[in-house]
Structure 1
């Protein structure tokens, strides 16, 4: 009887175990799809803080594809966004779709087709000014899904010597140069927004500008040396002051640095002179070459200036050399065009990564264009070239002299002697004069708007006087060049006398108008004119100058018609 009861208990226990195993199996199968519906995601944020901009690089490791990568940026800092792009695990460059604003976030999205690490790259303008600066940025990438773990590194400018962070859990590594702040956190729920609040100190003031366009041409030589010609357009971004100095960093050891613009070469000085336009300074350091340029014209907010920097550099390599795509790394470049010219006599030419190859004047050039992608996905290019047979360099001048002598001798023997024709005089001066007057009109228009805004009380006296002084300095230097060009035009083209006389009359009226402006401001400062009278007089002054500018444009049109 007992054995029968024990047997029944064993059978009952076996049935219970089978039922339990079946239930567990069902639960595992049922829950498995949910476990893989949201794969584990790991993220890393690296922030590089520069003097004028910020670069945020968010690396997201994706374990299952395709994957809809959704991320966000606080709407409060979206206005500082310069460029944004995504690099997929396969290296594809993707421009994310802006989905719109949700609460205090601006949402972006793109589809990732491959497993691996994708990178979101933002470049933001750094609006902070002064020696003591505040940096407030999202500590973590703001992602639309759970993140298992996120590693964060903030790298402050090389010039920063004091960094303080007020966000809990962030460690400052002050023993390193540059100073860094690090944090490791996780897990993070979707759209986690935690602010990093920090301050840092600089030992010098910096101008606020960005490079909106760079045309970089590199002429390669067989021994690895190259001649660089960088035509750069900078835009001023200081709303309260004019930019006087453009500073950027070239590679170490560059030689024969020269700066020029449309009007001519700049003057190289041992120390930059802010009162002298069109001069520059070259500071050779062990690991960098610092270039400081005082442009011909200072930059107001949103105004552009263009000049060309040329220099000689040497890299190791014969037949293969690696070249940087960017002329400098310390200022953002929104539109980059790189053109590589192979050495003379090149028969084969290739680039890695592959670049667009074009035929120009019978030779092959390589071209790389990058628009609104900063830092560019391609930061360096390795070029390989094969040279055909060329004469030794020492023999080339001798051969050239021999050919010239033979041709000249033949010409003298077979050509009958006849009177030399009267040489024609090249006449670039009228066009140069017109170009200078166009520049003068642009400065006059800025000054007219300045009169109007100051008269209406829109800007403070200190700002008005500072900007007016800068404009008048530029105008005075421009006037000196205009006077010199007028003399040359009169000598080369006496028929231009009437047009030049008309320009002289308008210039005289503008001088009289400027004297009137000084009298108006003097009366207002000494209490001899009410605020209302001052506003009315400044408005009339602005209108009178606008009429003279129109008259000046009409005179220039007649001068152009004579050419």
Structure 2
């Protein structure tokens, strides 16, 4: 072989060897990671929330990463989710003892958020509880730093924990410890044991359902109407107060039930507000104390600033749903009338897009704790008018207007244009609906007072219910039509809908009062006083709705 060819081959082999030594080695030794997170021990489940920062200093990360539950963990993963830097859901596949997470990008560094809900982790003997918790999942890379905050239930007394802790403190009144580790070896998962004494709150209070209505204001805050239904399982005494934590910087807090608004600092039908560590704490004192197996429903109203990044809003579903065990959460999200290109994670169960987006989300107990926030993206254009027209275009428009005016000035004047039929129809239809509502109220009162016989009452009520159903269907159809006329129409219709919800709440209170009076649970004097209060509320609501309808009628289309 000629010496020149031999030298060329040697140089080629050397170059290939050098290149291979410079190529990234995408194995566990070439990747490192850091973990920061929170483990919340609750009454009958454990919530794990970890932020995992994975780095490949010598190259790029692989297309997927495997996470495995540590050996010895005998609990059950009720739900699990992996999310990217923008809270986007990451695709993952369940393996025999772990999960393979697919990375959306080929990058050198990636931050992912892991959320798990764990059950069957408790060994309970009376009020003494031992919890088995997977502190770390097994990873295919070394962990250079780990910082985990372990939070115990409210009122728990911690006896011991199977690992050294770096700090002990309190978060919102809850005992907490911090565990920090350095240089955790490749693939090493960790399980810890902890013992504490505690009387579970789910034995005292549960929340069958929360109905949350949330309106996103274009100025960057959310208006919230939160209907909460609670049930007491307190075996001794009666439940007289409940404490909820609203999002930080919540303002305009008000509490009411079907009988009326609660008063600040009152002992009954009252509430108290204070700034807490995790948010604004509201202590609600129901109108009537709640005995074992009994329930109560009340509504909390407030508004709070949203986290906003350009056209992306992050809406917190916590911390309120984590105060007590919740069975169902129904969230109705409303966006401005000028909304465009709406999408969210997780996707809504129902979606309508007439005059703004109305998205309905339903979460059961397992999924509600997994989805701690709702990520919503949409664009909206400002309501007219926007004066940014170049002067030349404006002059041309004015000139065209003058010409058109000159052409039509000699024509016979036309009669003023009337409102669109659907607008007038809405006003008339709502007036019909309101008259039926008040007719039902008067019928109920006459029956309670004994002025009408039961057979005649039932026959008349059956007829009015049919008429009302027909009237409501007509009104809601016309509302949807009128909302499309302009953003101003849509805003007024939304205000009417909110007042309509209040009207139905007062009506329900009327019926409840009647039932209580017939069952002799309240005196005639109390009944008449409360009925008078509710009648004044009904009249105020009716006048406000009629005023809004007048505004709708006056709007140009």
Normalising by structure 2, we get a TM-score of 0.48
Mark the structure with the bigger radius of gyration: 1
Normalising by structure 1, we get a TM-score of 0.48
